[in-house]
């Protein structure tokens, strides 16, 4: 969580007027009071949203730790802090609880004022972050293979992180680290050539999976073909024109097929974000010789190896990481060393996020340990593995087709559409065919995405059609429906939400709860940006939708007196905007009706 350090006044003023961040404001205020009560300037007030209503809206939990350091009784320190804590106009009540917690109850008039501001401010009152250049490595499918379920999570979660960081004002560089290099390209080029000679290259490449399979079969069965393929690997690596051209054709066709999937998924990747493994080829020889010169890499049984004390092999000895094979070939690790260096040196990254399967954790740690030891990327630039678990079927085993094959992403999305179509048609018998179709596409794709986004990414996750398409619970259809429900209030009132400029008064508890939660959007989004955890945003939006329902059921809008009606409509307008904006940072589309 964001906590205030030094520069209290500077930080405090940054949050007044321009942005709405209750936690940051209270943190600044409490730490100021703590310092006046004798705490060191870098004390952590630990201001958090309270877990229970009886503990107020926010709690400051940092007193105990500081009291311990100062050798004071925590409650006594809390008393002194309270004497210095000036929350006039912000809190209606501040009290000490338990061993020295401070419970803060926000003032409703102040909340109302903040809510009013949030609507008017750009980005719903979310402050522009100090812009960083952030490289996000995600999606990364392999050339001459179709995207399959193994790439879903990286693509979807990575894109949500990208959208979130961009919303906050960062300069985001999308890096699609596609697998476009390796010895298999000799085989693929030779096979493409064979197909071209037989005049069915285009057709064959339309089904990449079959193309790859056939290429492999031919390679295994036909020695003349295999010989030719091996020759092409060498030529390709040597920069031969013909081989380069054929290689490029394979990359182009694969990526234009993938682009269709990205567009359909509402994922922001384009062709210009492709920074495949091949991009780093030219750097590899230099890296190997540099690592040798630095004494980090040594010759071992003909290969070039870096021994790392940080990792141990089965015998308990330092683990050897091969960076160049006996035959001169480089490895996936060598490429990732070069790639990290490039992202820092050339792209000038301040931070690099990698959305990669958790099974590649050790690989990344080894590459980065070498990167740090060689001084290619300073410690001040974080290299973060935002790992995720596997996608499992309902039976808890890796998600496969009935016959045990990998599931193609395009087939998965077609099925999502089909299932959503049935559902939408059932719910809207009167709707035109065209509208049902377009709604089904949005709902189906969103359901697949949201199901993934709403779960903590670190664990494996069970892919279940029925759960993700349910209209109850934390699902895309529920969230999209909740949004249309808010909009319907404006239709009924005959008022345009955007033109509304009414005062907000919070009289009912439910109004105050809704307003407080609405004002926590920045707290949530900064957390998602820091940890790369979109499920935190999903949980927030789901909670928000629930609070809106409670408010809507208990606080009449259309039948209320003028002042109350407009105030409640204003809250509804902020809810609609927040839901829409929140879903947008996740890459989930909203619809007007469903």
Q: Which spans of this chain sit near ligand ARG (rule: CB under 6 A)?
A: 137, 140, 142, 177, 179, 336, 339, 354, 356
Q: Which residue number, 140 or 504, has a Cβ lying nearer to ligand ARG?
A: 140
Q: Which residue number, 179 or 534, has a Cβ lying nearer to ligand ARG?
A: 179
CB of 366 to ligand ARG, least distance (A): 12
Q: Which residue number, 137 or 441, has a Cβ lying nearer to ligand ARG?
A: 137
211, two tokens: 């193309």
Q: How far apart are CA 124 and CA 521, in angstroms?
A: 8
DSSP annotation string for 100-130:
TEEEEEE-HHHHHHHHHHHHHSGGGGPPPP-
CB of 360 to ligand ARG, least distance (A): 7
Q: Which residues neighbour 71 within 8 Å (Cβ) at sequence distance 6 or greater? A: none
Burial 317-326 (b: 16+ CB within 10 A, else e): eebbbbbbee
Neighbour-count burial of 175, counting CB atoms closer than 10 A to its CB (0-12 exposed, 13-18 middle, 19+ buried): buried
Cβ 319 vs Cβ 122: under 8 Å = no
Q: Which residue number, 47 or 340, has a Cβ lying nearer to ligand ARG?
A: 340
CB of 126 to ligand ARG, least distance (A): 30
Q: Which residue number, 231 or 398, has a Cβ lying nearer to ligand ARG?
A: 398
Cβ 369 vs Cβ 310: under 8 Å = yes
Q: How far apart are CA 73 and CA 542, in angstroms?
A: 41
Q: Which residue number, 26 or 143, has a Cβ lying nearer to ligand ARG?
A: 143
CB of 15 to ligand ARG, least distance (A): 37
CB of 179 to ligand ARG, least distance (A): 4
CB of 357 to ligand ARG, least distance (A): 7
CB of 341 to ligand ARG, least distance (A): 12
For residue 424, what are the CA distances in angstroms to 412, 418, 448, 565? 18, 10, 16, 33
Q: How far apart are CA 488 and CA 490, in angstroms?
A: 5
Q: How far apart are CA 131 and CA 7, in angstroms?
A: 20
Q: Which residue number, 242 or 332, has a Cβ lying nearer to ligand ARG?
A: 332
């Amino acid at each position: 969580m964001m906590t205030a350090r030094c520069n209290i006044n500077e930080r405090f003023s940054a949050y007044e007027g321009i942005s709405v961040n209750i936690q940051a404001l209270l943190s600044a205020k409490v730490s100021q009071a703590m310092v006046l009560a004798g705490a060191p300037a870098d004390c952590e007030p630990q201001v958090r949203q309270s877990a229970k209503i009886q503990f107020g809206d926010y709690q400051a939990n940092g007193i105990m730790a500081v009291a311990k350091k100062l050798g004071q009784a925590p409650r006594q320190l809390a008393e002194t802090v309270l004497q210095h804590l000036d929350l006039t106009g912000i809190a209606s009540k501040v009290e000490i609880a338990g061993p020295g917690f401070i419970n803060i109850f926000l003032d409703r008039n102040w909340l109302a004022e903040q809510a009013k501001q949030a609507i008017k401010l750009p980005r719903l009152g979310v402050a522009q972050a100090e812009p960083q250049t952030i490289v996000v490595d995600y999606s990364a499918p392999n050339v001459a293979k179709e995207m399959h379920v193994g790439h879903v999570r990286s693509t979807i979660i990575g894109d949500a992180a990208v959208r979130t960081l961009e919303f906050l004002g960062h300069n985001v560089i999308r890096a699609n680290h596609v697998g476009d290099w390796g010895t298999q390209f000799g085989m693929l080029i030779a096979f493409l050539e064979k197909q071209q000679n037989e005049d069915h290259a285009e057709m064959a490449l339309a089904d990449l999976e079959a193309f790859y399979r056939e290429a492999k079969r031919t390679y295994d069965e036909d020695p003349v073909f295999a010989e030719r393929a091996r020759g092409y690997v060498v030529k390709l690596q040597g920069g031969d024109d013909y081989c380069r051209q054929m290689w490029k054709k394979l990359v182009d066709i694969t990526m234009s097929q993938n682009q269709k999937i990205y567009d359909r998924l509402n994922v922001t990747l384009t062709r210009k974000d492709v920074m495949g493994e091949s991009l780093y080829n030219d750097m590899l020889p230099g890296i190997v010789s540099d690592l040798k010169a630095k004494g980090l890499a040594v010759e071992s049984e003909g290969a070039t190896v870096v021994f790392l004390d940080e990792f141990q092999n089965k015998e308990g000895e330092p683990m050897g990481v091969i960076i160049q094979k006996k035959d001169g070939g480089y490895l996936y690790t060598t490429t990732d060393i070069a790639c990290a260096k490039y992202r820092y040196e050339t792209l000038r990254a301040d931070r690099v996020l990698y959305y990669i399967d958790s099974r590649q954790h050790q690989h990344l740690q080894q590459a980065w340990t070498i990167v740090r030891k060689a001084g290619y990327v300073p410690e001040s630039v974080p290299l973060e593995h935002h790992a995720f678990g596997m996608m499992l079927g309902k039976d808890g085993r890796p998600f496969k087709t009935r016959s045990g094959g990998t599931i193609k992403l395009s087939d998965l999305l077609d099925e999502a559409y089909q299932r959503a179509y049935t559902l939408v048609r059932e719910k809207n018998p009167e709707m035109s065919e065209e509208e049902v179709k377009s709604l089904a596409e949005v709902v189906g794709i969103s359901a697949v995405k949201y199901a993934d986004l709403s779960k903590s990414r670190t664990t494996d996750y069970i892919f279940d059609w029925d759960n993700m398409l349910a209209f109850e619970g934390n699902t895309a259809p529920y969230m999209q429906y909740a949004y249309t429900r808010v909009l319907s209030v404006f239709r009924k009132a005959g008022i345009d939400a955007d033109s509304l400029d009414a005062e907000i008064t919070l009289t009912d508890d439910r109004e105050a709860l809704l307003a407080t939660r609405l004002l926590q959007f920045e707290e949530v989004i900064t957390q998602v940006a820091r940890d790369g955890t979109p499920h935190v945003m999903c949980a927030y939006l789901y909670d928000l939708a629930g609070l809106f329902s409670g408010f809507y059921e208990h606080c009449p809008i259309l039948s209320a007196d003028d002042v109350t009606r407009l105030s409640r409509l204003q809250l509804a307008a902020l809810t609609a905007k927040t839901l829409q904006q929140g879903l947008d940072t996740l890459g989930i589309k909203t619809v007007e009706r469903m």
